[in-house]
Structure 1
């Protein structure tokens, strides 16, 4: 039972981190809303999908 509690807490921390990163991104509002809804409605699956395919800031090379 304690292991389940730890897993749930870690999941909630991961979801909070993902939501924070999405909200802080410079993506369009509709994209951010989609990601936040996905993470909230499907906590584990949404977090995994965000981690793999989530909105990333474009890194441009100079030179």
Structure 2
């Protein structure tokens, strides 16, 4: 089983808190904010990575 402790856990906690604060401060709808926040809380590492790639603040350029 993969376990995290010490400094690794604190780093993940800090990144997740930053992500949740960013979600709350975004211009996304309330439902989207709740969904992203729950994803980050339930799946801390995977949820953060998904949010980082496809979150409400991600900027996609269109041609």
Same fold flag (TM > 0.5): yes
Higher helix share: 1
Check whether the contact 1:25–1:57 (CA below 8 A) recurs between aligned residues.
Answer: no
Larger-Rg structure: 1
Query: Which structure 1 residue ranges, 4+ long, deviate > 4 Å from structure 2?
Result: none
After superposition, the CA RMSD in angstroms is 1.6
CA distance in 2, matches of 1:25, 1:36: 12
What is the count of residue pairs matched by the alignment? 56
Unaligned runs of 5+ in 2: none
TM-score normalised by structure 1 residue count: 0.82
Unaligned runs of 5+ in 1: 59-63
Give 1:28's aligned residue.
29
Give 1:15's aligned residue.
16
CA distance in 2, matches of 1:24, 1:8: 24
